[in-house]
Amino acid sequence: MTSTAPSVIARIGMNRSDLSHKNNDNAGKKIFYFGRTKTEGSASQRELLGGKGANLADMSSIGLPVPPGFTITTEMCAAYDELGGKMPKGLMDEVGRNVATLEEETGKVFGSKSNPLLVSVRSGAAASMPGMMDTILNLGLTDDAVAGLAAATDNERFAYDAYRRLINMFGDVVMGMHHEHFENAFDKIKKKYKAKEDNDVPTAGLIELCDAYKKVYRKHVKKDFPQDPFLQLELAIKAVFGSWNAPRAIKYRQINAITGLRGTGVNVQSMVFGNMGDDSGTGVAFTRNPSTGENKFFGEFLINAQGEDVVAGIRTPKPIKDMPKWNRAIYKQLLETKDILEKHYREMQDIEFTIEQGTLYMLQTRTGKRTGAAAVKIAVDMVKEKRIDRDEALCRVPAEDLTQLLLPSFSAHDKKDAQVIVTGLPASPGAATGALAFSAEDAVKRAQAGEDVILVRKETSPEDVDGMHHAVGILTSTGGMTSHAAVVARGWGKCCVAGAGALHIDANKKTVIVGGRRYTAKSILSIDGSTGEVMLGSVKRSTPKLSIEFGTIMKWADQVRTLKVRTNADTPADAKRAREFGAQGIGLTRTEHMFFEGDRIRPMREMILADNKKDREKALKKLLPFQRRDFAGIFTAMKGLPVTIRLLDPPLHEFLPHEAKAQRELAREMGVTPSVIQRRVSALHEFNPMLGHRGCRLAVTYPEILQMQVRAIVEAMIQCKKKKIDARPEIMIPLVGMKAELAQLRALTEETIAKVKKAKKYTGKLNIPIGTMIEIPRAAITADEIAEVADFFSFGTNDLTQLAFGFSRDDINTFLPDYLAKEVLPCDPFQTLDRDGVGQLVEIACKRGRLTRPDLKLGICGEHGGDPSSIHFFHEIGLDYVSCSPFRVPVARLVAAQAVLA
């Protein structure tokens, strides 16, 4: 099972295990043979045979040339445990009978002086489980058999090399000896023969080494290295069984909550060798191109080599297309095998093979990893080839990988020669190159002058938004994947690397020091938001084009899904882009960003500094035309689709400057003394701004703010209607915790709508649903009451997660790494919704809300709206829509379809 397409494999697994329940007439059977002679197991018997055993049986059963062998069941392991570490009665007899079959099939004999059978022994439980026993290769070699192997292969060096490896591995893995004892002995031999590398030791030296190893073995084990291959096998099997309860295996199961398994299987398989001469070889291949998805066989091979050599990269392998020059028959057989595998697994495969003296053996096949582009192409192609249906194709594409297709990026090729100076968190995918700007103002100024700048900040705040918008990328030294910088950047699809802690940023001196080097405003850096890499200089980047297959997958997804997908967008440009990506409306328009730009911050600050309602209203009046224009633009971009507008949410102090210098400047601008500004900033200071005077609490104390915003919405709507543009605003009141809050503000909103309608002499119908964010735990718990005065709920899962856990997103990095390392948390709950806690609150709110108002529209506009696992959950509990950043809209569309099919 690979991580690229777990759902498919899981489903195949499930279907087959259903079969196994019906066809379970092997009860009590201790060993399952696989090979040409017979194959007793099947892919469905993972529990009994372990994953490895079941797969070997499966490949055998479809006629692939798998080296024959047998699997001892996990039940035998359980029995061994129950017996306190004794072999179950009759097991070794059964082993003997299976070895005999193996001998018959291979024509080799265990321990033979002329043509000995060698086997590998491997553990394998139903779940992948590091911490259990390593592989033992070449088992069956003895002083006699090594001579036989030398004779049979006519290769003494090969035979003794295999023997010394067995003794070493057996002593180490089965007998628990320290590896270094063997190393010391090897060093002596190498010294004697003046060999630099292991390979430089001549055959005579390897023969001496085997003797030396046997002495080392005797010295530490207090017994001779077993010369009976069956004794070797018995000891190895016992070691595998024992490793099931080794402390590190137990610990691993505890941590990963792996329960209900009875033990590990033991796989005994005849050895094949790719290093037996120039008619032998080994290789790895993909059945299709894993980068592009093109349906072309793709791989590499090495002549006279073992599998490890390909992986280790000691020798340079040849491309698979050159194989016919070496052995056309094998190449043909490999192509046939490839087809069989794809037909059998109905999926692109990643295979390993060995050719032993002209005979092809398949050692492994598994679902191949691929890029997002390849995943889309392969899935669509396989439907065309009628290998899979559309539903399966939809499930085959890892939704997360779609983002790779949308954003410009540095390919591995692009970055080949780049110098990485620091790596931070991959906070928002994309690729950006620019000169460094150390303040938002500087970024704006230089960007407007045509320069590409990367905004470098310790962390960003709403004050920086304009600068962030103008920068090509954002780089911060603190803050995590859900920091202000990360969230805002992802919302815009702007490249961001966050939390690059090694950066020492001095905003005053306009320098950043890292790795002993200093970078200034003139330095050019490139940042990769998909990997977190920060590179020196300008790195070329690639802008992918969307393929026809991408369009096909999206079309299929839309046909299947029931969950609607909206976007979070604050500007007409964002709205337009999201619409192109398939957004079915806006689920969240944040109005606060609108107050930071250019001329607007001034009246906003006047409003905040006003000490009476009249002056506040005067300042708000100046903001009205800006808001109206913003809304009209967004309505136009989204015509015919709903646009949910959240009224002012952040605490007011975010709009005032906090540094003395900026305060002095503002004071001068506004014609007041700096102390006036200071006093207001100080009065607005909060110990816990997250829990402070914000959201609808602002509207309760300053109703005039709400009134201005509602007025702007309604006037913009009427403006559009008069131009025959179908504007569909929805007004969302944030941070509601009590019904009374929403009831009072709803009444005020309705009253304002009516007033504007009257003032504008508009006689048509204006249907403006009024709803709320559910982001306060109390609101979730009392959703039945709140629903009485809400037309819709939109879950603000960011804040709901903060409050449900008592975590501050801005501060969580002080302990989140420890929590993840100690597995207190399975993942960052701000990235993937915590179903057990936060999810339960969302579910409770849905149920209770619909109890009062069955037609209540339910959506989610937190960061989780773009996270695949979370979207599955939102589908399951019956939300109407998710809303996510524009670049995640295609991801959400696909996941919504996958959720239906799950």
Nearer to a second copy by Cβ, of 688 and 763: the residue is 688
790: contact with a second copy by CB under 8 A? no
Nearer to a second copy by Cβ, of 447 and 838: the residue is 838
Nearer to a second copy by Cβ, of 412 and 821: the residue is 821
% helix / strand / coil in the chain, to the nearest 5?
50, 15, 35
900: contact with a second copy by CB under 8 A? no
Selected from 273, 301, 550, 807, the binder of a second copy by CB under 8 A is 807
Selected from 823, 827, 851, 902, the binder of a second copy by CB under 8 A is 823
CB 816 within 8 A of CB 499: no
Selected from 453, 456, 667, 776, the binder of a second copy by CB under 8 A is 776
Which entry of 469, 470, 484, 653 is annotated as an active-site residue?
A: 484
Query: By rule CB under 8 A, what string of x and - marks binding of each residue 698-737 to a second copy?
Result: --xx---------------------------------x-x
CB of 171 to a second copy, least distance (A): 35
Which residues on adjacent β-strands are paired with residue 778? none
Q: Where are the alpha helices (DSSP H) in 118-172?
A: 143-153, 156-169
Nearer to a second copy by Cβ, of 715 and 799: the residue is 799
Query: By rule CB under 8 A, what string of x and - marks binding of each residue 825-844 to a second copy?
Result: x--------x-xxx-xx---
CA distance 464 to 605: 16
CA distance 807 to 194: 63
Count of residues making up the chain: 902
CB of 270 to a second copy, least distance (A): 45
Residue of 270, 881, 156, 327 lying closest to 582 (CA atoms): 881
Which entry of 861, 864, 872, 884 is annotated as an active-site residue?
A: 861
The secondary structure element, H or E, covering residue 599 is none
CB of 794 to a second copy, least distance (A): 16
Q: What type of residue sits at position 404?
A: Q
Selected from 16, 238, 445, 697, the binder of a second copy by CB under 8 A is 697
CA distance 494 to 406: 12
Residue of 100, 72, 539, 530 lying closest to 262 (CA atoms): 72
192: contact with a second copy by CB under 8 A? no
Classify the C-alpha dihedral 499-500-502-506 as positive or negative: negative
751: contact with a second copy by CB under 8 A? no
Stretch that binds a second copy, among 78-86, 370-378, 511-519, 739-747 (CB under 8 A): 739-747
805: contact with a second copy by CB under 8 A? yes
Write phi, then psi, for 777 (nearest 5 degrees).
Answer: -55, -40
Buried b / exposed e over 560-580, threshold 16 CB at 10 Å, is: bbebbbbbbbbbbebbbbbbe
Give the three-state DSSP class for 710.
Answer: helix
Selected from 69, 467, 532, 777, the binder of a second copy by CB under 8 A is 777
Nearer to a second copy by Cβ, of 701 and 763: the residue is 701
Write the DSSP string, 209-266.
HHHHHHHHHHHHHSSPPP--HHHHHHHHHHHHHHHTTSHHHHHHHHHTT--S----EE
CB 197 within 8 A of CB 255: no
Selected from 75, 654, 785, 791, the binder of a second copy by CB under 8 A is 785
CB of 623 to a second copy, least distance (A): 22
17: contact with a second copy by CB under 8 A? no
Other C-beta atoms lying within 10 Å of the C-beta of residue 446? 20
852: contact with a second copy by CB under 8 A? no
Write the DSSP string, 63-102.
T--PPPEEEE-HHHHHHHHHTTS-PPTTHHHHHHHHHHHH
CB of 683 to a second copy, least distance (A): 8
Say which residues have a Cβ less than 8 Å from residue 537's Cβ, sequence separation at least 6. Answer: 418, 419, 524, 525, 526
Stretch that binds a second copy, among 231-239, 281-289, 621-629, 820-828 (CB under 8 A): 820-828
Nearer to a second copy by Cβ, of 46 and 848: the residue is 848
CA distance 119 to 135: 11
Selected from 562, 660, 811, 902, the binder of a second copy by CB under 8 A is 811
818: contact with a second copy by CB under 8 A? yes
649: contact with a second copy by CB under 8 A? no
CB of 841 to a second copy, least distance (A): 6
Q: What type of residue sits at position 23?
A: N
How buried is residue 399: exposed, middle or buried, by Cβ count under 10 Å (0-12/13-18/19+)? buried
Residue of 747, 721, 533, 548 lying closest to 640 (CA atoms): 721
693: contact with a second copy by CB under 8 A? yes
* Nearest-5° Cα angle at 642, 766 to 584: 155
Residue of 103, 143, 135 lying closest to 226 (CA atoms): 143
Nearer to a second copy by Cβ, of 445 and 835: the residue is 835
Selected from 740, 747, 754, 851, the binder of a second copy by CB under 8 A is 740
Nearer to a second copy by Cβ, of 669 and 751: the residue is 751
Selected from 19, 83, 329, 691, the binder of a second copy by CB under 8 A is 691
CB of 900 to a second copy, least distance (A): 28
Residue 344 bears catalytic tag: no
599: contact with a second copy by CB under 8 A? no
19: contact with a second copy by CB under 8 A? no
Q: Where are the alpha helices (DSSP H) in 543-612?
A: 548-560, 572-580, 601-609
CB of 732 to a second copy, least distance (A): 17
Stretch that binds a second copy, among 163-171, 662-670, 690-698, 880-888 (CB under 8 A): 690-698
Selected from 211, 391, 810, 880, the binder of a second copy by CB under 8 A is 810
Q: Map the footprint of a second copy across residues 475-534, applying CB under 8 A.
A: none
Residue of 630, 663, 804, 814 lying closest to 729 (CA atoms): 630
Write the DSSP string, 602-633.
HHHHHHHH--SHHHHHHHHHHHHHHHHHHHHH
Nearer to a second copy by Cβ, of 239 and 842: the residue is 842
Structure tokens belonging to residue 295:
């349906």
CB of 563 to a second copy, least distance (A): 24
CB of 668 to a second copy, least distance (A): 27
Nearer to a second copy by Cβ, of 450 and 806: the residue is 806
748: contact with a second copy by CB under 8 A? no
659: contact with a second copy by CB under 8 A? no
CB of 609 to a second copy, least distance (A): 16
Structure tokens belonging to residue 304:
């006279």
Residue 861 bears catalytic tag: yes
CB of 627 to a second copy, least distance (A): 24
Give the N- to C-terminal CA distance of the chain in Å, as an integer: 18
Which residues on adjacent β-strands are paired with residue 301? 283, 318
437: contact with a second copy by CB under 8 A? no
81: contact with a second copy by CB under 8 A? no
Q: What type of residue sits at position 777?
A: P
Q: How many residues form the binding site for a second copy (CB under 8 A)?
A: 48
870: contact with a second copy by CB under 8 A? no
CB of 840 to a second copy, least distance (A): 5
CA distance 801 to 830: 7
The two beta strands, 533-536 and 420-423, are antiparallel
Nearer to a second copy by Cβ, of 176 and 817: the residue is 817
CA distance 298 to 342: 14
Give the three-state DSSP class for 638.
Answer: coil
CA distance 691 to 803: 9
Residues of this chain that bind a second copy (CB under 8 A): 686-693, 697, 700-701, 735, 737-738, 740-741, 744, 775-778, 781-782, 785, 799, 802-808, 810-811, 814-815, 818-819, 822-825, 834, 836-838, 840-841
For the annotated catalytic residues, the residue numbers are 484, 861
